[in-house]
Chain A
């Protein structure tokens, strides 16, 4: 009698264990399924070795060649060919430029917070510029500030001239800025397609000042087709003990354009 009671309990216990196991499996599987749902994208096909990106929905297209000719074919593409109308000729469209990968420009962080500035303690902050292009090949990114870092009171932090004397930097030439007694606001570039005067992370330039009619300067450029060309911009500010306390702000314009 006692033995059968024990067996009943054992069976009941086993059933409970099994039930718990099922619940755990179902909960875990559901959570995995829910978490693995991604966003739905347009018709891009890819594997480990290739990616077919559909810039436009075409009937078909190919690059054909023989000993005597090269022929690039695109069917169903709107404004695919050089077309003519009365009084004008327009040359546009991806067939004309093979721009299947669109010209794309990204800034990873648009709020570059330099924190609270203390005298003789340089503050730096970074953002990354990314350019992707599958079209005409060449591209450039220029930079310029609307005005120097300015507080509401109208006081400004002047643009840096770097360490000064032999190491005086300009809008077009980066120089060493390592001295904590050199004040101002400037930037350094590192990564793909950056100007060669940014020899290392200690080389800085001031931003061209648009309020002073200074022309924007090229901070990234390349002659070749590129995808995910990345460069890090390091902003640096250092103030003197006589600098008025305040919240200094400016807007830096980064303009990306493909080649003409």
Chain B
């Protein structure tokens, strides 16, 4: 084996020597050698270009992806019995070509954070249909990549429909991928929805019964004394505020108002409450602005990361503070008021100071001794 290698090396050296103009045996040989060298360079160049072409044209292989968009994201409708309305929805496909269906199902609110759960069976007096010439609800539609489909949704309230609120979700449902024989698999089905809030009213008047269900600050230290709760914060702490509105009426309400913070030195700050829908017979956590930034992406997230909050107050607080809120549930309706309070004191600073003084005292005592 080594002998063969040695022979190859010798012939290579011989070739190289014969190709060199000063060491070669003759000019004709050297010309031929140059031609051979040129050809080998051509081959080398072409190989590089081919490799570059293949490398650059290589694309990563992705699994089957579903990506849908929907617009508009929310619809609020106040309508008389016996009337109908036409709404244009658009569902776009940003993923692989897919087959999808448009459907409408009722939903119910499940918590005060604004989350909902779809019912899998249709119910209620409202009638939905599509005015598209070639598509019906629950009918499969092919949607190519980067294509979109307009769905003309006809919402009809029958003449005898009872007054009240009805909540539905119009959604596009991609057909799940076909299963693979021989392996166990779970197939994911994507559904994207847009909520429809319908208030059926003959006169246009709505039933407003709103109240403040909860308004308080979330404190780590609470002292209950003389039937009153005293909430304590360190001066540097951020103060999380919770404001939950309850709707006991038959129709949805959109409370508007503000939260006011008053300090014992006369300082005052006002925070505007975002108008958000509170559905009939439910509660909703309202948010207010401007709120401090909530950063929960830390190793030890603060306590207020465990649940949604309405407002996060930041700054240096000292003494007793009063927080009040005033909400209006409808135009002309009586305002609803609630208030809470907290005490802020630089506990950490004072503890640190006492600790430092103690250490200094110890050192002084030792030095004297």
Interface positions of A (Cβ within 8 A of B): 2, 6, 9, 13, 16-17, 20, 24, 27-28, 31-32, 35, 39, 55, 85, 87-94, 96-97, 99, 102-117, 123, 125, 127, 130, 133, 135-136, 138, 140, 142, 145, 149, 157, 185, 196, 210, 215-216, 218, 221, 223, 235, 237, 246-260
Contacts and interface: CB of A to CB of B under 8 A. Distances in A.
A85 B78 CA distance: 11
A90 B75 contact: yes
Contact of A97 (B41, B72, B167, B305): B72
Nearest to A39: B146
Given A87-B80, A112-B188, A255-B171, 12 more contacts: A92-B76, A102-B73, A102-B92, A103-B71, A104-B67, A106-B190, A107-B190, A110-B174, A247-B179, A256-B191, A256-B193, A260-B195
Contacts of B110: 215
B188 A252 contact: yes
Interface of B: 27, 31, 34-35, 38, 41-42, 45-46, 49, 52-53, 56-57, 62-80, 82-83, 85, 87, 92, 94-95, 107, 109-110, 113-118, 120, 146, 167, 169, 171, 174, 176-177, 179-195, 197, 276-277, 279, 287, 305-306, 308
Nearest to B118: A255
A250 B187 contact: yes
Given A31-B56, A102-B92, A17 B38 contact: yes
Contacts of A250: 186-187
A254 B190 contact: yes
Given A127-B188, A196-B306, A88 B85 contact: yes
B238 to A, nearest CB: 16
Contact of A110 (B52, B176, B181, B183): B176
B32 to A, nearest CB: 10
Contacts of A210: 120
B308 A260 contact: no
16 contacts: A13-B31, A27-B49, A87-B79, A92-B72, A104-B192, A108-B62, A110-B189, A111-B177, A111-B188, A114-B184, A237-B184, A251-B187, A259-B276, A260-B74, A260-B167, A260-B195
A12 B120 CA distance: 81
B75 A110 contact: no
A221 B117 CA distance: 13
A24 B63 contact: no
A120 to B, nearest CB: 15
B169 A257 contact: yes
A246 B186 CA distance: 14
Nearest to A5: B27
Contact of B117 (A89, A127, A216): A216
B117 A249 contact: no
Nearest to A145: B186
B287 to A, nearest CB: 6
A103 B188 contact: no
B73 A108 contact: no
Contacts of B62: 108-109
B120 to A, nearest CB: 6
A96 B194 CA distance: 15
Contacts of B42: 20
Nearest to B170: A257
Query: Which of B35, B67, B185 has the largest number of chain A CB atoms within 10 A?
Result: B185
A254 B120 CA distance: 13
B261 to A, nearest CB: 21
B193 A235 contact: no
Nearest to A104: B69
Nearest to A250: B186
B183 A247 contact: yes
Nearest to B98: A110
Query: Which of B45, B79, B115 has the largest number of chain A CB atoms within 10 A?
Result: B115
A67 to B, nearest CB: 15
B185 A112 contact: yes
B187 A252 contact: yes
B118 A258 contact: no
B190 A110 contact: yes
Contacts of A17: 38, 41
A143 B251 CA distance: 29
A131 B21 CA distance: 69
Query: Which of B62, B76, B171 has the largest number of chain A CB atoms within 10 A?
Result: B76
A93 B90 CA distance: 12
A55 B176 CA distance: 29
Contacts of A133: 73
Contacts of B305: 196
